[in-house]
Structure 1
Amino acid sequence: MQTPTATIPHLIAAGFHALSDPLRISVLELLRKRELCVCDLCEILGVSQSKLSFHLKTLKEAGLVHSRQEGRWIYYSLNLPQFSILEEYLADFRHNQVISSAHPCCD
């Protein structure tokens, strides 16, 4: 299923914003290996649940992670299709062989 074109700039901006914090990068690196519970993430990263919740919310709003609840625990995993959108956005810049000069401005 294609993402509507109108939402692409929002998804790209939110994705790169989410990737701009070292703690969020650390969370993503841990989730690369396997799905993890919030309590496990807190323990591994040595942060409080309130601090981690803020960062997980940012990652979730950017579409970079999924969450699921099992009992009283919430588990997080990567949402790989969103990473593909960001990857494709950056890859498009490689295809620009020549960037045209600006047209002369009006007098």
Structure 2
Amino acid sequence: MSTSLLTDLSRTARLFHALADETRLAILRQLVDGERCVCELTGILDAAQSRLSFHLRAMKDAGVLIDRRQGRWVYYQINPEALETISAVAAELKPANAQAQHGWTVADGCCG
């Protein structure tokens, strides 16, 4: 990736916001092994379909999930590109990486 992922702050914030909820993280945990139907998730997570749909929609709108409709049911799966982006952003935020990329050292502080 040639430009910093941190330059698109709006997209980055949407991705991280989509993960900033216990229910949403529980949904991701259930989708690690592949796609699942909403009806399966409601049973596994013991959550009302309306509540689950709210969280699934937020994650889909942020690009974290991909969905497909089959008849009256909707199946969800993790969008691997979103996870790659999240991982890359997290890597950019590591202090050692920032120092190396910008040539900073501890002695280069602004008040030195």
Using structure 1 for the length normalisation, give the TM-score. Answer: 0.84
The residue aligned with 2:34 is 34
Structure 2 distance, partners of 1:89, 1:103, is: 28
Structure 2 distance, partners of 1:53, 1:67, is: 12
- How far apart are residue 103 of structure 1 and its match? 6.1
Q: Deviations for 1:44-91, whole angstroms, at most 9, x for unmatched residues?
A: 000000000110011111110000000111000000101111111111
The residue aligned with 2:60 is 60
Aligned residues: 102
1:48 pairs with 2:56: no
- How far apart are residue 93 of structure 1 and its match? 2.5
> Is the partner of 1:96 in helix, strand or coil?
helix
Please give the residue correspondences for 1:61-76 in structure 2 after superposition, counting only pairs within 5 Å: 61-76=61-76
Q: Deviations for 1:17-62, whole angstroms, at most 9, x for unmatched residues?
A: 1111000000000000110000000010000000001100111111
Structure 1 distance, partners of 2:89, 2:38, is: 30
> Is the partner of 1:47 in helix, strand or coil?
coil
1:101 pairs with 2:109: yes
TM-align CA RMSD: 2.4
Percent identity between the two aligned chains? 36
